[in-house]
């Protein structure tokens, strides 16, 4: 079953075309990474998907229902930001419970549900802590838990790891993968980091200048890049990796 379908999406700011007639789909339970350099239009795409920005042309279908002009709150999507945007004046539990309280108006039930989800993301020990008392990884888990409580069909990630150091990134990637396995939620992951995209995703979508250059499983993109751009984008990354290994080890690869 196709979960999300984007058809002929175009976005212009005055004369500048930011998204140029792009179409793709996201399958149910899929992990899709949108990969591209800064300014390629990936953040604009995210804003349009979540509904805080309007597109000039095109439609977004979710389960065959047109949601292009539907309010953000009714799209059944959650978002996790780069800086997580946790509410600093609330504890972990309150952060997770806040929206649910407003939705179901039954405090006991909201609390139970929030605790259940916090347990699933392994944060049950930290429910009384404030966000600034948590590590970056823990904050991310809380942010994910917060979106999960509302039971969204799709979670969007806006470069959630770019503020972390390399060690933590590696750890968090694993955790994110685990969470996705547990909840089977569709995830759309925006990043400029090739390694992240290739290691996490079922499929990767490479973007450049408001166009989709290629969308496929990591293996295919890696081994059969569709054009020069994708080849360079992926190859450059490889060359960087290789040369850094060479530097470290002194071995000529």
Q: Are strands 186-191 and 16-27 parallel, antiparallel or unpaired?
A: unpaired
Which one among 17, 61, 70, 90 touches other proteins, defined by CB under 8 A?
90
- With beta carbons less than 8 A apart as the criterion, state whether 123 and 155 touch: no
Task: Give whichever of 14 and 74 is closer to other proteins, judged by the CB atom.
Answer: 74
Task: Give whichever of 111 and 231 is closer to other proteins, judged by the CB atom.
Answer: 111
Q: How many CB atoms lie within 10 A of CB 133?
A: 12
Provide the token pair at 80: 């996790």
Convert residues 112-131 into a mask of x (bound to other proteins by CB under 8 A) and - (unbound).
-----------------xx-
Which one among 13, 15, 64, 102 touches other proteins, defined by CB under 8 A?
102
83 binds other proteins (CB under 8 A): yes
- List residues bridging with 216 in a β-sheet: 204
Q: Which residue has the tokens 């948590």?
A: 134
14 binds other proteins (CB under 8 A): no
133 binds other proteins (CB under 8 A): yes
Beta carbon of residue 189, minimum distance to other proteins (angstroms, whole number): 16
User: What's the rounded Cα separation, in Å, for the pair 133 and 136?
Assistant: 10
88 binds other proteins (CB under 8 A): yes
**Which positions from 147 through 166 interact with other proteins, judged by CB under 8 A?**
147, 150, 152
The string of DSSP letters for 35-67 reads E--TTSSHHHHHHHHHTSS--SEEEEEETTEE-
230 — alpha (psi -120 to 50), left (phi > 0) or beta?
alpha
Residues recorded for the chain: 253
- Residue 61 to residues 53, 213, 231, Cα–Cα distance (Å): 16, 22, 31
Q: How many CB atoms lie within 10 A of CB 236?
A: 11
72 binds other proteins (CB under 8 A): yes
Q: Considering only 8-16, 18-26, 75-83, 223-231, which stretch makes contact with other proteins by CB under 8 A?
A: 75-83
Q: Considering only 33-41, 105-113, 143-151, 217-225, which stretch makes contact with other proteins by CB under 8 A?
A: 143-151
85 binds other proteins (CB under 8 A): yes
Task: Give whichever of 89 and 249 is closer to other proteins, judged by the CB atom.
Answer: 89
User: What's the rounded Cα separation, in Å, for the pair 168 and 144?
Assistant: 16
87 binds other proteins (CB under 8 A): yes
User: What's the rounded Cα separation, in Å, for the pair 187 and 177?
Assistant: 10
Site residues (vs other proteins, CB under 8 A) = 50-52, 71-75, 77-79, 81, 83, 85, 87-90, 98-99, 102-103, 129-130, 133, 146-147, 150, 152
């Amino acid at each position: 079953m196709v979960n999300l379908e984007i058809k002929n999406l175009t976005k212009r700011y005055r004369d500048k075309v930011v998204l140029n007639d792009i179409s793709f789909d996201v399958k149910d339970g899929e992990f899709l990474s949108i990969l591209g350099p800064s300014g390629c239009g990936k953040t604009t795409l995210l804003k349009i998907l979540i509904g805080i920005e309007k597109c000039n042309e095109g439609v977004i279908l979710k389960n065959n229902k047109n949601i292009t002009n539907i309010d953000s709150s009714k799209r059944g999507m959650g978002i996790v930001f780069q800086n997580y945007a946790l509410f600093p004046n609330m504890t972990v539990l309150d952060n997770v419970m806040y929206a649910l309280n407003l939705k179901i108006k039954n405090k006991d039930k909201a609390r139970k549900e929030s605790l259940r989800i916090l347990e699933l993301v392994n944060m049950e020990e930290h429910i009384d802590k404030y966000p600034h008392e948590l590590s970056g990884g823990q904050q991310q888990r809380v942010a994910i838990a917060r979106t999960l409580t509302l039971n969204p069909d799709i979670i969007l990630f806006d470069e959630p790891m770019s503020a972390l150091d390399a060690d933590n990134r590696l750890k968090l990637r694993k955790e994110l993968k685990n969470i996705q396995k547990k909840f089977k939620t569709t995830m759309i992951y925006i990043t400029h980091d090739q390694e992240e995209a290739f290691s996490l995703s079922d499929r990767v979508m490479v973007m450049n200048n408001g166009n989709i250059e290629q969308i496929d499983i990591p293996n295919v993109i890696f081994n059969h890049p569709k054009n020069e751009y994708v080849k360079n984008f992926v190859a450059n990354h490889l060359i960087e990796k290789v040369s850094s290994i060479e530097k470290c080890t002194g071995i000529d690869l």
